[in-house]
Chains A and B, each alone.
Chain A
Amino acid sequence: MVEQAEIRVVRQGGSKITFREPVISSDSRFLLCASGHTVKVFSTVTEECVQELRGHTDLVTGVLLRPSNHLQVYSCSADGTVRLWDFTDGILIRTYVIGYPIFSIFASASHDGVVFIVTASQRDNRSDAFQLVAVHLPACADQLVETTELSAVLGDVSANPAAIAFGRAGEYLASANGSQLEVYFFKKKKSHRFSLKDENKNGGRNTLTCVACHPTDDCVATGHEDGKIRLWRNFSHRKEYTYSTLHWHHGAVASLRFTPEGSNLLSGGLESVLVQWRYEQESQRNFLPRLGAAITHIAVSPDGSRFCTSHSDNKITIIQSCVKVSSIIQGLVTGDEVQTDLMVDPRSKALVLNGKPGHLQFYSLQRDKLLFNLDIVQQEFIHQSGLDQYQVVRAAFDGSGSWLATVEERKQKAAEVEVNLKLWAFDDHTQSFVLNTTIAAPHEARISGLCFDPAAGSRTAVLVSSSADGHFKAWRLAAPPAHTDDEGASWSCDFVGAYHGLVPGCCSFSADGSLLAVSFQEVVTVWSPASWELLATLSQPPGDVRNLCFGRLSCSKYLLGTTTKLLCCWNLLTCSLEWSTSMEVSLLLADPLSENMAAFCHQDGSADLFVFKPSEPLPLFSQKAVCPGRVTRAVFAPREVMLESCEESSQWLNRSRLYFLTPQMDLLTFSTKAEEQSLLASSKQLVIDDAVAMTPFYLLLGKHQRSGAEAPAGGPSSGSPALPQSSAAVRELLQTPAHVLPAASFLCSAFLESLLISVTDDREETGPADQEMESEKEEEEEGSDEETGAGGTRPEEAPSGGAQTEGAAPGLTRTQVRELRRVRKLDHSWLARILDS
């Protein structure tokens, strides 16, 4: 179908920011990293994403500062283009079409107008052969440039970008492949190869993993799989080359970098320790330990003042002068395995899944930012392999997002599983989940299904858990007995259900909460949660039922289930099979906002997607080979703004978007062409608007104000009691990031005064507040820096103490507000000086 080309699988939100080495801009203010199909520009100070460079249509595989202009950046992508950007303004300057997928990009100041890219070798059809190609970028004014001048420099290189590096003033190039180091001299157009034995006699693996070249000396550092670092010298002679060996790492060295002056060598690997070696005095080492996860890349700013390390848990750490971690940019943590389902928090619309060990992470896909981590297990995680520790395996939200149920388990031995069921209530004051009830050993065996009654609000919520011990249990929030002092209600078991001793699988509530379907191996039982009566049994052998889904809205009379071979649809009114089709469905899920259902099938080693309505015979949309492997985790995330697409095949994407996790733990989604174009247009629009005076703080503030405007409109949390309003000054004081505030002692007296004085004109405050906001804006323009946009929807933003004071304290008088602002203005002057310098 022609329309289907409109819908593409893209990476949007939650992509790896550590896929390639990040780049620090020459003034150390920005950090650029490849993230999915875009290049993200982060502020190194505030950790905020200030710019997103969109335009590539495939994975971005390399980011590189243009050597001749430090405000421009090249990016290369698997879509076969190299793009040149102005990263401060986010403008695409030029697109060079290469035509082959590009795996990495290199450039050197002494090779003007030339970039070096790694592509698959065309000579032989081996998929693992790569070559380094010099591309002469034609100098012309066109937006889209075809490059024709390609010349191969080195055959047989590694696709790993860490394995190629330019040496002193671009005179030579070092490339590591396998256990061989190759140095290519541009002047002589000759290369020397130095090979090591694959395995030395002590069993060390000599395979090279990364290369770095000293900026002023003829010295090449190579990292090896056995943790050794070799410093090669005298390699301009074929035979008289020599090397020395440094050894600290016990695992493979993942990344090596020299500082710009060449006085230090940085190395990192599995140990999550950044090691700094003094050049020529290698016995002197400095360590920066406890960086959290294995280091995958190291980048150094051009002035050497900042380092940054990428970590395997999708995190970038920015380090100041090798001693202090100054900021951490965290992406979506996917790890090796996601054990919980993908979920969407109904309140914050954040994607929820398990991230750090023992935690649930709340990740905002719209803003592409980690909101917070909720510690579920509340035990220290010990970083050691082979230890059996509690892990979050299941989680479920109720319909309004006010309750969260989590299951954690620890498998001491195969027989005895330790399971805890925890119920968390959303606390409006702290804007976070608070543990309400812990049920130790809710079942005898591990829990196989967990679901909340989605129709909350009207009744007290019901939680159903099914387990391999042959029972399913319903849990209900019960009021505490009158004679106890307990302040709140807690959860307790309401009903235990079983069916002929069969083992229950999954469970599902209908959209209105009036029916509960529980699968018992081959049989689907339908229960009434009001009376716990068994209403009907449905069965369609052979094979156990894997997924259960009730239809929504107009299709609510249908119940869909999947077995190993079949997708079945039962009509609940007639209790009969409506239709069934033979396909191996690995995941079935329903869009909460429409009748649509999505089924991921596993066929021929890749996953196919079908989107259909249970009442209609033809699928709305189908795409073969969405990704290789089996898709077992996916979610429909509601959109903030509805799309207005008229294309029939893409209408299912209007209300929500479908995210899914590939077996490689990439979060992918579907996007229409129209959507992409509007995104591109909006980013360009923004650039043109702000083209007058672009400062990062201005950008941040702009973002903050926009998101602030959106929050009250879109949030379903409007039903919940609003936070007590307080004066603008106090709110700003609390929301302004600490690093732009003056010293606490400076603010303290004014703040305390505000608490002491009882204010009468609280109601009048709202009128002039708007005015103030406007005047503030002007001031911000003058001062050209202002507070960052701390997200308005961030639940843990307001600490509990602050919230209480806000509740108790009335606003400040206008004079006090002015005083505060004056103080802040004083502060801005020195801050501005620093930023300008």
Chain B
Amino acid sequence: MGEFKVHRVRFFDYMPSAIRAMAFNSHTERLAVARADGAVEIFNFADNYFQEKVIPGRDGRAVEALCWVGRRLFSAGLDGELTEYDLENLRPKYSIEAYGGPVWTISGNSQGTLLAAGCEDGTVKMFEILDERIQFQRNLDRQKGRIISLAWHPSGTKMAAGMMDMIRIFDTETGSATHRMLVERGAGASKSKEVVVWSVAFLSDHTVISGDSAGKFQIWDGSTGTLIRSHPVTKWDVLVLSVSQDESSVIAGTSEGTVVQFQFIASTAGQEDKHWFRTRTFKNHSHDVRALVHTDTAVVSGGMDTQLVVRPLLDKVEKNTQESALRKIAFPHRNLVSCAKKAGLLLFQFPDHLELWRLGESDGNGAPGEILPVKRKPEKLIQLKRKGEDHICCSALSPCGSWLAYSTVSSVRLYRLTLSSNSVSIQKVSKLPKELRSVHQLCFSLDSSRLFASSSLSSVVVVALDQTECRCLHTLKHKSGSKQPIHILCPSEDGRWLAAANTDCEIHVFDLHKKKLHCSVPAYSSCPTAVSIHPASCSLVSVHADQQIFEFSLKQKEYTEWSRQLQRQGLHPLWLQRDTPVTRVTFNPTNPAHIVLHDAFMFCIIDQSLPLPKAETKLYNQMVLRSFPQPQRSRESHAFKICKNFQCTLCEKKQGKQPHTNVKMKATQAWS
């Protein structure tokens, strides 16, 4: 496997933020997740739950509700504004004030024409959805008390609104409230406290389902306004409900961290007389479940414990397949760490600040597996607070360690760092070219003379960096017509090539000398999660969300023989079943046949000179191999060498000759 010096970096104090709201678009199979810091993330459920896009948050924006209308995504929050997002440029498109105080909920009708917002002042505000914006249409009858939750009847003529102590049913054509259904308060001491109807659902047979702060799951007849059945689910709050597409199942998330499923089942076989029965209980969260989505095959839940959990319904999927496995998505599918190889610096990206650390040093060589004595401890050099209200969306550190750049949705900032042995100075570069205004990804070339920034319409801006000035050299564009943002930028070591991957699953390679598009890698159906160009052979290695690995020769403009063989033979089933995407690919400078890649839970070296593992052989064979004698070891060994001896790798990079850096939330064990 080769020898590496491993730095145990336990000082990246990354804290994901709680999930507030979710919305699922069943046509595009995209899940939008809003977090407590205002960030919105888009997951592609069709592509292995890959986190495609992240729209950074902003101070003071708390998203309380999310809603898809067609391919458009709307949000509302307690700041009283409705926001539509620009999913191509990863930024809010516009916000309009609802003039009703904090907005608790929004809901679009199934026809996609109207958006209803429930406000603190007791009004339900209707907005007409136009092509480019939304426009206020009218208010429904104003009620006393805030509107906490809203649900449209599928026909669009009626609407149920959950309020304090009651549920109202509105006729959306006349705007008048037709029914008022009083919700019982909790028993005992909470009798004097108002009960909050946190969530309502309106089914096509005019059944209204509500979940409230007294812990009740109630089923109402919406046409008569009467209570049919009440199920006490928890002692605390039922926070959120979600109905399956065929309306045969409803799930309820509680503040105890459980998700309770109710199913519409005939009590005796073969009869039409169906009832709602409480059936399964899922407990995958340690804290409140704030957001729930019932897809056709799974229950997706998120809450205060920041994890996104995809729990497949075993009666809807094949057993013992990749689909039937429980998934927990805890970490972002992108790199929040950049590394200055030569200077031994690490840059950590947080939503509201950046941290620059110097790695520890040690002298002497130890035996494999030994912990080396630390001569100089790692130290934090700079904590850089961002300016403005917008959160940081990307950051980069130049390989020489003298440049630092970060970007928010509104601006890019570039700093020049001067490091001496015991002093650090940072200086902002004041005049930036105007092309650098809104970028999604930043990257320095290896000689630190260029800054690449991905801009709107999948273009890449190349900026030349100089001690005196920085100027925009040119903009690289491709002709595929995709407007999706570029999420990976990767320059080659010799400075000739630049690979750019966007969320339309395209990878374009630009020739920096000729300043034009060199070639495009044949499009693959799954989104690339990590891309890298081999320094010696000039081949591009890409790893995709479905765990496939490709090697594309830039010179021949075709897949290499190794890549073809890999596709012919297929990857090991255990490799394909891993549920976190590979976030970085790099190469071993001492052995060109080694491809090094990692995801959040594993680190892998692929030796291209060894045979590929067959489906029946053991994938994780490092410990077994160690026990074999040398001849058998070489016979048994295969290309994949995997190490899982740590938790949560967020970044890793090869430096110079041997050292090698792992960034971990918590390392359990050092290895070498």
The answer to whether A and B come from one shared complex is yes
Query: Whose C-beta in chain B lies nearest to the C-beta of A171?
Result: B269
In the complex, chain A residues whose CB is within 8 Å of the CB of B281? 244-245
Question: Contacts A242-B279, A244-B277, A280-B277 known; A236 to B269 CB distance under 8 Å?
Answer: yes
B263 touches A234 (CB 8 A): yes
In the complex, chain A residues whose CB is within 8 Å of the CB of B232? 281, 283
A244 touches B265 (CB 8 A): no
Q: In chain A, residues 213-235, which have Cβ atoms closer than 8 Å to a Cβ of chain B? A: 216-219, 233-234
Binary per-residue interface labels of chain B (209-233) against chain A in the complex, 1 for a CB within 8 Å, 0 otherwise? 0000000000000000000000110
Asked if B315 is at the interface of the complex by the 8 Å CB criterion, the answer is yes
Binary per-residue interface labels of chain B (543-572) against chain A in the complex, 1 for a CB within 8 Å, 0 otherwise? 000000000000000000000000000000
Measured between alpha carbons, how far is A233 from B274 in the docked complex, in Å? 12
In the complex, chain B residues whose CB is within 8 Å of the CB of A242? 261, 263, 265, 277, 279-280, 315
Query: Whose C-beta in chain A lies nearest to the C-beta of B281?
Result: A245
Asked if A746 is at the interface of the complex by the 8 Å CB criterion, the answer is no
Measured between alpha carbons, how far is A245 from B279 in the docked complex, in Å? 7
A218 touches B277 (CB 8 A): no
Q: In chain A, residues 275-295, which have Cβ atoms closer than 8 Å to a Cβ of chain B? A: 280-283
Measured between alpha carbons, how far is A236 from B268 in the docked complex, in Å? 9
How many interface contacts (CB-CB < 8 Å) are there between A and B? 46
Asked if A241 is at the interface of the complex by the 8 Å CB criterion, the answer is yes
In the complex, chain A residues whose CB is within 8 Å of the CB of B269? 218, 236
Query: Whose C-beta in chain A lies nearest to the C-beta of B232?
Result: A283
Asked if A240 is at the interface of the complex by the 8 Å CB criterion, the answer is yes
B386: min CB distance to chain A, Å: 42
In the complex, chain B residues whose CB is within 8 Å of the CB of A240? 315
In the complex, chain B residues whose CB is within 8 Å of the CB of A233? 263, 265, 267, 277, 279
Asked if B142 is at the interface of the complex by the 8 Å CB criterion, the answer is no
Pick the contact of B279: A216, A218, A244 (CB < 8 A): A244
Asked if B278 is at the interface of the complex by the 8 Å CB criterion, the answer is yes
In the complex, chain A residues whose CB is within 8 Å of the CB of B275? 280
Instruction: Count A interface residues, CB 8 Å.
Output: 19
In the complex, chain A residues whose CB is within 8 Å of the CB of B280? 242-245
A218: min CB distance to chain B, Å: 5
In the complex, chain A residues whose CB is within 8 Å of the CB of B315? 239-242
Measured between alpha carbons, how far is A707 from B297 in the docked complex, in Å? 73
A243 touches B279 (CB 8 A): yes
Measured between alpha carbons, how far is A794 from B263 in the docked complex, in Å? 60
Measured between alpha carbons, how far is A218 from B275 in the docked complex, in Å? 12
In the complex, chain B residues whose CB is within 8 Å of the CB of A241? 315
Pick the contact of B268: A216, A239, A280 (CB < 8 A): A216
B273: min CB distance to chain A, Å: 10
Query: Whose C-beta in chain A lies nearest to the C-beta of B278?
Result: A244
In the complex, chain B residues whose CB is within 8 Å of the CB of A282? 278
Q: In chain B, residues 232-291, which have Cβ atoms closer than 8 Å to a Cβ of chain A? A: 232, 261, 263, 265-270, 275, 277-281
Asked if A410 is at the interface of the complex by the 8 Å CB criterion, the answer is no
B263: min CB distance to chain A, Å: 6
In the complex, chain B residues whose CB is within 8 Å of the CB of A236? 269-270
Measured between alpha carbons, how far is A280 from B279 in the docked complex, in Å? 11
In the complex, chain A residues whose CB is within 8 Å of the CB of B270? 236
Q: Is the interface of B mostly helix, strand, loop or mixed?
A: strand
Asked if A168 is at the interface of the complex by the 8 Å CB criterion, the answer is yes
Query: Whose C-beta in chain A lies nearest to the C-beta of B283?
Result: A202
Measured between alpha carbons, how far is A280 from B232 in the docked complex, in Å? 11
A115: min CB distance to chain B, Å: 25
Measured between alpha carbons, how far is A219 from B263 in the docked complex, in Å? 14
Query: Whose C-beta in chain B lies nearest to the C-beta of A242?
Result: B279
Query: Whose C-beta in chain B lies nearest to the C-beta of A185?
Result: B269
A218 touches B267 (CB 8 A): yes
In the complex, chain B residues whose CB is within 8 Å of the CB of A281? 231-232
Measured between alpha carbons, how far is A698 from B129 in the docked complex, in Å? 88
Pick the contact of A218: B231, B268, B278 (CB < 8 A): B268
In the complex, chain B residues whose CB is within 8 Å of the CB of A234? 263, 265-266
Query: Whose C-beta in chain A lies nearest to the C-beta of B261?
Result: A242
B181: min CB distance to chain A, Å: 20
Measured between alpha carbons, how far is A240 from B268 in the docked complex, in Å? 14
In the complex, chain B residues whose CB is within 8 Å of the CB of A219? 267
B373: min CB distance to chain A, Å: 41
Measured between alpha carbons, how far is A639 from B269 in the docked complex, in Å? 61
Q: In chain B, residues 114-140, which have Cβ atoms closer than 8 Å to a Cβ of chain A? A: none
A277: min CB distance to chain B, Å: 13
Query: Whose C-beta in chain B lies nearest to the C-beta of A280?
Result: B277
In the complex, chain A residues whose CB is within 8 Å of the CB of B268? 168, 216-218
Binary per-residue interface labels of chain B (561-586) against chain A in the complex, 1 for a CB within 8 Å, 0 otherwise? 00000000000000000000000000
Q: In chain A, residues 160-185, which have Cβ atoms closer than 8 Å to a Cβ of chain B? A: 168
In the complex, chain B residues whose CB is within 8 Å of the CB of A283? 231-232
In the complex, chain B residues whose CB is within 8 Å of the CB of A218? 266-269
In the complex, chain B residues whose CB is within 8 Å of the CB of A216? 267-268
A243: min CB distance to chain B, Å: 6
A184: min CB distance to chain B, Å: 14
Query: Whose C-beta in chain B lies nearest to the C-beta of A172?
Result: B269
Measured between alpha carbons, how far is A240 from B314 in the docked complex, in Å? 9
Measured between alpha carbons, how far is A234 from B266 in the docked complex, in Å? 7
Binary per-residue interface labels of chain B (307-318) against chain A in the complex, 1 for a CB within 8 Å, 0 otherwise? 000000001000
Measured between alpha carbons, how far is A244 from B282 in the docked complex, in Å? 11
Measured between alpha carbons, how far is A242 from B263 in the docked complex, in Å? 9
Query: Whose C-beta in chain A lies nearest to the C-beta of B277?
Result: A233
B232: min CB distance to chain A, Å: 5
Q: In chain B, residues 466-491, which have Cβ atoms closer than 8 Å to a Cβ of chain A? A: none
Query: Whose C-beta in chain A lies nearest to the C-beta of B235?
Result: A283
B529: min CB distance to chain A, Å: 29
In the complex, chain A residues whose CB is within 8 Å of the CB of B231? 281, 283
In the complex, chain A residues whose CB is within 8 Å of the CB of B265? 233-234, 242
B61: min CB distance to chain A, Å: 39
Q: In chain A, residues 177-213, which have Cβ atoms closer than 8 Å to a Cβ of chain B? A: none
Measured between alpha carbons, how far is A239 from B324 in the docked complex, in Å? 14
- 3 A-B pairs closest in CB distance: A236-B269, A242-B279, A217-B267
15 A–B contacts, CB within 8 A, in A order: A216-B267, A216-B268, A218-B269, A234-B266, A236-B269, A236-B270, A239-B315, A242-B279, A243-B280, A244-B277, A244-B279, A244-B281, A245-B281, A282-B278, A283-B231
A-B contact sample (11 more), CB < 8 A, given A242-B315, A283-B232: A218-B267, A233-B263, A233-B267, A233-B277, A233-B279, A234-B266, A243-B280, A244-B278, A280-B277, A281-B231, A281-B232
